[in-house]
Structure 1
Amino acid sequence: MKRTLAAILLASAALSGAAQAQGTGTVNLAYVEWSDTVVATNILAAVLEDEGYTVNMTPLPGAAMWQAVATGEADAHVAGWLPVTHAAYYEQLQDQVELVGVNIEGARLGWAVPAYMEIDSIQDIADDPSVVNGQVIGIDPGAGLMSASEQAIADYGLDVTLMDGSDATMTAALQDAISREEPIVVTAWTPHWMFSRWDLKYLEDPEGSLGSEETVNNVVRAGLSDDMPDVYRIISNFRLTLEDEEALMLENEEGGDPAATARAWIEANPDKVAEWTAE
């Protein structure tokens, strides 16, 4: 009887350990529907699902994404642009969130124009706003890039209107202008698929209004390391490259399903995934 009981306990412990290794529970990821964040979030979600977790992904505006993690409504997001773009969000919420690693290096913000345009600097727009039809085509109004663009307009004294919209409306306007070889300036960032599709150039920003090189960071709620240590470890290890993201972003833009392209990338890069999940 003692031997049988011991065997049962050992078997139970083994099963429990296996269950823990596979992971249980639900992970809530918040994200903004920017093409780069869609790629990163879908890859992370697929990896967590493979580890046994149920994953919910919730699209939100930038400020709401940070707030959701701060309040615990979401466990994490992987779109923390620092030190400039999301500085205000982080400064306000830093006691309620934790930065746990960089997933992209070499990111940047700026204003971009088609290469056929004969301007090279934001100062050129100050000299003659008509070179961009008096407009800067922007994205969603809550984005850090839009705040930086408002600052650039003030710093350079530009007589232009910043048009808000979305990533999709901005790139649609860019595509239309390029098809007609017309002037246009758009709020832009790297990584983004538009630099793989079209011949674009960033305008010089001598005032530094739009910042310099940035990193994209993994951000988790307070207490995640205690509640879900394996999830915390995976998110802390999560890394991508600009090349990886931009390739998948272009695939998605050309009709690929983000969940499917993420799965294909995971299958093609088992060594990278193993680094994220390693204990």
Structure 2
Amino acid sequence: MFVRHLKKLGIAALACATIAGCSQKSEPGATDEPAAKATEAPAETPAEKKVADLVYVNWAEGIAYTHLAKVVLEDKMGYEVKLTAADVGPAYTAVAKGDKDAFMETWLPTLHKDYVDKFQGKLLDLGHVYEGTQSGLVVPAYVTIDKISELNGVKDKFDGKITGIDAGAGIMKTTEQVIESYGLDYKLLASSGPAMTAALKDAIDKKEWIVVTGWRPHWKFGRWDLKFLAQDEDKTVWQPGNIHIMGRADLDKDKPELAAFLRNMTLTDAQLSDLMIKVNDSESKDVAEVARKWMADNEAVVTAWIPKS
């Protein structure tokens, strides 16, 4: 089975082409439980060129902390970091095939369960980078319904539409399940993270009703007064969970220092929210520049991630 502001990040989409088989559009040995965080690992041979090849999706939270990982690895650990933006399916495929070192945003236990099950034995769970995710249908606080089961009664208010994100995203698949389970007479519109938040902003500016596929962590919860529509107990689809980092199966063997760093990397809700808002609000088109400034302001946080040799 959480936009990622992003109009500044058009350059990220260009990187998608570097993954073999990457589609034009698609999106919360692995388990559902967070892996223990490592604290130490031997460094790679000093003579070797240290390279980290990471793939992420074009969502606000992943963009923010993946670029933060990049600047920490480059500035403090001497790595050359290659970042690739891709849709979820191609991202998992690339890591499972060993073409990329790690996928930075696995939502468990629900949204990405199908992908983790599909590539069982070809992925290495490096633990959670964020704890306490929430996914579901989100509306502005001024909307006068509170439950998914009430949607059909106010269909005209929402024009019979749920504004979604990438067609292959886990939350899109689970929303389709919800539409069927609740018998909702709504059409789920595929778009993108940035398009979804743009539509949300436009509706809020006009005080119009809108329902979107939403998740936490996301900067929109710090920007607007929003609420999740409650699920019925007997029709619960979305569960709280964590965001994991998934490495290729042999990452511990090939790049133990990188694997240890990614295991150690973790952000609280307050820390990630602060980073996301700074990325979204910055006039700079260089996300790494914003992340580098955040790193300088939060030295104790990032220093704790660096493995001791």
TM-score, normalized by length of structure 2? 0.81
Quick check: 1:77–1:220 contact (8 Å CA) kept in 2? yes
How far does residue 77 in structure 1 lie from its aligned partner after superposition? Answer: 1.8
Q: Which moved more, 1:83-92 or 1:256-265?
A: 256-265
User: Cα gap change, 1:134/1:18 in structure 2, threshold over 3 Å: closer, same or farther?
Assistant: closer
- Counterpart of 1:8 in structure 2 is none
Deviations 1:34-90 (A, max 9, x none): 000001111111111121111110000011111111111110122010000000000
2-side partners of 1:29 and 1:190: how far apart?
Answer: 22
Match of 1:30 among 55, 74, 82: 55
Consecutive unaligned residues in structure 2, runs of 5 or more? 1-41
Could you say what secondary structure the match of 1:277 adopts? Answer: coil
Identity %: 37
CA deviation after TM superposition for structure 1 residue 210, in Å? 3.7
Structure 1 residue runs of 4 or more that deviate by more than 6 Å after TM superposition: none
Distance 1:249 1:18, change over 3 A: closer
Q: 1:25 to 1:161 in 2, by over 3 A?
A: same
Q: Which of 62, 65, 85 in structure 2 is aligned with 1:40?
A: 65
Q: Is the 8 A contact 1:98 1:219 kept in 2?
A: yes
Paired residues of 1:136 and 1:163 also in contact (CA < 8 A): yes
Asked if 1:269 corresponds to 2:298, the answer is yes
Q: Which is bigger in relative contact order (C-alpha 8 A, separation at least 6)? A: 2
The match for 1:258 among 287, 291, 308 is: 287
Matched, 1:83 2:109: yes
The answer to whether the Cα contact below 8 Å between 1:151 and 1:209 also exists between their aligned partners in 2 is no
Tell me the CA shift for residue 128 of structure 1: 3.5
Q: 2:63 is aligned with what amino acid? A: V
Q: Radius of gyration: which is bigger?
A: 1
Distance 1:261 1:81 in 2: 25
Q: Structure 2: which amino acid aligns with 1:164?
A: A
Aligned residues: 263
CA distance in 2, matches of 1:225, 1:100: 10
Residue 74 (str. 1) matches residue 96 (str. 2):
no
Give the letter aligned to residue 81 of structure 2: V
- TM-score in terms of structure 1 length: 0.90
Contact map agreement 1:123 1:156 (CA 8 A) in 2:
yes
Match status 1:112 vs 2:147: no
- 2:305 is paired with a residue of what secondary structure? helix
Query: Offset of 1:229 from its aligned partner?
Result: 0.9
Aligned residue for 2:293, secondary structure, equals: helix
Separation of aligned partners in 2, 1:107 and 1:77: 18
Separation in structure 2 between the aligned mates of residue 26 and residue 85 of structure 1, nearest angstrom: 30
Q: Quote the residue 1:190 is aligned against.
A: 216
Q: Pick closer, same or farther for the CA change 1:19–1:132 going to 2, 3 Å.
A: closer
Structure 2 residue identity aligned to 1:262: A
- The question of 1:97 aligning with 2:123 is answered yes
Write out aligned runs for 1:161-172 (5 A): 161-172=187-198
